[in-house]
Each structure stands twice: as C-alpha cells, then as structure tokens.
C-alpha cells in the first residue's frame, strides 16, 4: 500500500533549486586554476560549507565567507571578501532544476508541500517564487536557529507543523544534509533525488528517483 503522507517535505537548494556554488566558484577562480585544481577547490568549498553549519547558527553569508576563506587558504589562493559577498548574493537569483515545476505541480494537487531550507528568511522567498508550484510552508535555518544536518532544524519543522516523523515523506538529493538525519529521527519514508551530488547509500532506506518528475509515482499518483 502506497504511503500517503500528511506533508511532503523537501530540501530546497540542490534538490529543487539548482544550487550553483560550483559555477560561482569557477567564475571567480577558474582562470587561476587548472581544471583538476579547480575541482579540488570546489570539493573543498563544499566540505567547508558543511563544516560551517554544524555549529551555532550564523547568517548564511558568514557561512559562505568562512568556507571560502578556508578554501582559499587550503589552495594557496588570495581571499577577497568581495568574492564571498558576490557568491552569497547570487543565491536568491537561482531558479529550479528543469524537472521541478511540473513535478511539484503534480503532487501539490494532493499533498501540502513543505520546504525545510538552510536559508535566510529574507532570501528564500526569491527562490520559492521561481519554483512554479505552491509551497504551503517554508521553514528556514534562521527561524529554526540551526542548519541541517542538525536535528534541531527538523524538530522545529515538526513543531510548527504539529506532526511527527511518521507523518512526512522527506525528499532530498543529499544524504549528509538531510537523509542521514531524517533516518536518525525516525523518518521512515524518504526519497533520494539522485542529482549526482553524492553516491547511493542504501543503509538509510529510501526510494530513489532521478528527478522530481518521479515523485508522483512514489505517492501513487
């Protein structure tokens, strides 16, 4: 029997929004680094952003600033705060993956859609407006006082929705930010959108789809 959740909850950046930090980094540093070294730089930048959100909450611009500064130091590149500011300012301009608007519209007819995002309150409306489908609730790291993958972010969402882990289907392209924590919190119904960010990890128990167009079938539509 197909699970009928009270809410379908989503990671936003990366899963629904084309989160192009790699492209932003290439724009600024591609001329200084070989393709191989540029990929190392991007990998480091990704890792440091995750490390920066594991502690006490701070504005996302500070997350980007600190992560980029650490990445530049590790790769022997001069750090310019203006570059970090430019990259942060790009985030609200990014829109959805091509599969997202139609895929969301199909499930939005039957289920309330919820975004749980590592975002700022003033920034996320710009991204949500580009999704082309109704999002019933948006919960940010700023409001939760914690970034994913910290449990506090998910717990804030449950409190605000008045539901528990058993009531949601959580959808994400990331194990490290979402699906590992979702597993630890007892969210049994999970969907991994395989966008190539991370390798599969069946231990965490999920249904795999290649993009959001496959979500309707997961919930029996």
- pLDDT surpassing 80 at residue 16: yes
| Cis, peptide link before residue 149, omega less than 30° from 0 | yes
| pLDDT, tens digit, 9 for 90 and up, residues 192-221 | 999 998 999 999 999 999 999 999 999 998
In tens, the pLDDT along 114-157 reads: 999 999 999 999 999 999 899 999 999 999 999 999 999 999 99
Distances (CA, A) of 192 to 131, 171, 211: 19, 6, 9
Full 3-state SS string of 162-192: CCCHHHEEEEECCHHHHHHHHHHCCCCCEEE
What average pLDDT does the segment 58-78 reach? 97
Q: What confidence score (pLDDT) does residue 1 get?
A: 59
Instruction: State the pTM of this model.
Output: 0.95
Tell me the per-residue pLDDT of 160-193, one tens digit each, with 9 for 90 and over: 999 999 999 999 999 999 999 999 999 999 999 9
Among 101, 137, 78, 142, CA closest to 17 = 101
């Amino acid at each position: 029997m197909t699970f009928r959740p009270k809410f379908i909850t989503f990671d936003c950046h990366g899963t629904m929004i084309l989160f192009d930090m790699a492209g932003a980094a290439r724009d600024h540093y591609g001329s200084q680094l070989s393709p191989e070294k540029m990929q190392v730089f991007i990998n480091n930048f990704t890792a440091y952003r995750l490390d920066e959100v594991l502690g006490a909450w701070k504005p996302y611009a500070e997350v980007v600033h600190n992560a980029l500064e650490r990445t530049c130091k590790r790769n022997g590149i001069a750090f310019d705060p203006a570059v970090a500011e430019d990259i942060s300012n790009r985030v609200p301009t990014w829109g959805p993956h091509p599969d997202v608007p139609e895929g969301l519209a199909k499930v939005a007819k039957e289920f309330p859609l919820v975004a749980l995002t590592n975002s700022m309150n003033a920034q996320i409306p710009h991204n949500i407006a580009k999704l082309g489908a109704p999002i019933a609730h948006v919960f940010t790291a700023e409001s939760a006082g914690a970034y994913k993958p910290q449990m506090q972010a998910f717990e804030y969402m449950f409190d605000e929705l008045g539901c528990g882990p058993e009531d949601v289907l959580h959808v994400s392209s990331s194990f490290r930010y979402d699906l590992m924590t979702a597993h630890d919190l007892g969210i049994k119904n999970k969907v991994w959108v395989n966008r190539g960010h991370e390798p599969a990890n069946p231990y965490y128990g999920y249904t795999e789809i290649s993009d959001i167009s496959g979500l309707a079938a997961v919930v029996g539509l």
